[in-house]
């Protein structure tokens, strides 16, 4: 393939991924991109990355391959109790305040994990809220997890994690909220208990969509460690849409490295990576 066509395909691919997912693929990361796409390059029998792009753009494979490409290009790293201070603020401040505000009735909290990956963020939230209920706080809650990656959503719905993945969960909570797999195929794994799984729903959602099919009175949105992959325009647009789904006084929680990105007239900084709708 000649150099000019190759560059044109490269550029078209980066623009396509940016338009469809918001994710920026700088040219200097081409090696990483190629290595992540290797399974698809092999699956379609292409001779290499260039051959694969030619199949996508010139031989009509694009729409079939795109979901698989997105699954491979997203960075899905997540952990239980990641950036744990956020969960402290949730149970020590946000929940008691909601309970006081709704008194004498128990409030129903709506929480959204807006780039949920394989579910650790949503289930950590479920665990800490279940613990707050055990400690006597009267409220109910529903958690929504959304992500662009179908592969991650499938894992999140299964709610089966390795011992290593569950290691940040304190032993007492692991004992209470997970069931150890007995079948040989599940050795070394544990599944979250049904009481937690019932509180969490997972749904496919692309943050680049103009509108989101989500309630507009959400109490807390976790939007952590995803804005970093987007350019400034997409970051602002996503934040504006998120704000429109928060109830007045609702909270937006971003990753510790993302707090500079939240610059919206309706959002007031509560603490470094937590913002509140005015």
Ligand X SMILES: C[S@@+](CC[C@H](N)C(=O)[O-])C[C@H]1O[C@@H](n2cnc3c(N)ncnc32)[C@H](O)[C@@H]1O
Binding site residues, ligand X, CB under 6 A = 21-23, 74-78, 82, 115, 117, 121, 147-149, 152, 206-208, 224-226, 229, 255
Q: Which is nearer to ligand X, 194 or 231 (CB)?
A: 231
Q: Which is nearer to ligand X, 46 or 82 (CB)?
A: 82
Q: How far is the CB of 60 from ligand X (least distance, A)?
A: 24
125 vs 113: CA distance, rounded Å: 9
Angle, vertex CA 159, rays to CA 154 and CA 161, nearest 5: 110
- Are the C-beta atoms of residues 224 and 121 closer than 8 Å to each other? yes
Q: Which is nearer to ligand X, 74 or 178 (CB)?
A: 74
Q: How far is the CB of 74 from ligand X (least distance, A)?
A: 3
124 vs 227: CA distance, rounded Å: 21
Q: How far is the CB of 238 from ligand X (least distance, A)?
A: 8
Q: How far is the CB of 87 from ligand X (least distance, A)?
A: 12
CB-side exposure of 77: number of CA atoms within 13 Å?
A: 7
Q: Which is nearer to ligand X, 23 or 214 (CB)?
A: 23
Closest listed residue to residue 88, CA positions, set 128, 138, 140, 127: 128
Q: Which is nearer to ligand X, 55 or 113 (CB)?
A: 113
Q: How far is the CB of 234 from ligand X (least distance, A)?
A: 8
19 vs 33: CA distance, rounded Å: 17
CB-side exposure of 218: number of CA atoms within 13 Å?
A: 27
């Amino acid at each position: 393939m000649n150099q000019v066509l190759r560059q044109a395909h490269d550029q078209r691919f980066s623009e396509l991924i940016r338009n469809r997912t918001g994710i920026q693929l700088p040219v200097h990361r081409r090696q990483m991109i190629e290595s992540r796409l290797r399974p698809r390059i092999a699956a379609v029998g292409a001779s290499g990355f260039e051959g694969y792009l030619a199949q996508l753009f010139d031989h009509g494979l694009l729409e079939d391959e795109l979901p698989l490409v997105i699954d491979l290009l997203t960075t899905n790293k997540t952990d239980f109790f990641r950036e744990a201070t956020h969960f402290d603020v949730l149970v020590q401040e946000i929940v008691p305040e909601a309970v006081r505000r709704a008194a004498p009735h128990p409030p129903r909290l709506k929480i959204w994990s807006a780039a949920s990956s394989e579910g650790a963020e949503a289930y950590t939230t479920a665990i800490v809220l279940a613990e707050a209920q055990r400690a006597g706080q009267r409220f109910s809650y529903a958690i929504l997890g959304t992500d662009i990656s179908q592969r991650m959503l499938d894992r999140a719905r299964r709610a089966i994690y390795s011992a290593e993945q569950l290691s940040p969960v304190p032993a007492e909570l692991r004992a209470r909220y997970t069931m150890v797999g007995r079948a040989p195929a599940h050795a070394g794994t544990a599944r979250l208990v049904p009481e937690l799984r019932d509180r969490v729903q997972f749904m496919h959602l692309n943050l680049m969509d103009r509108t989101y099919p989500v309630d507009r009175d959400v109490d807390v949105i976790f939007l952590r460690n995803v804005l970093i992959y987007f350019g400034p325009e997409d970051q602002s647009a996503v934040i504006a849409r998120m704000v429109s789904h928060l109830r007045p006084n609702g909270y937006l929680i971003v990753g510790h490295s993302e707090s500079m990105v939240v610059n919206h007239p309706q959002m007031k900084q509560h603490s470094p990576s937590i913002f509140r709708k005015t």
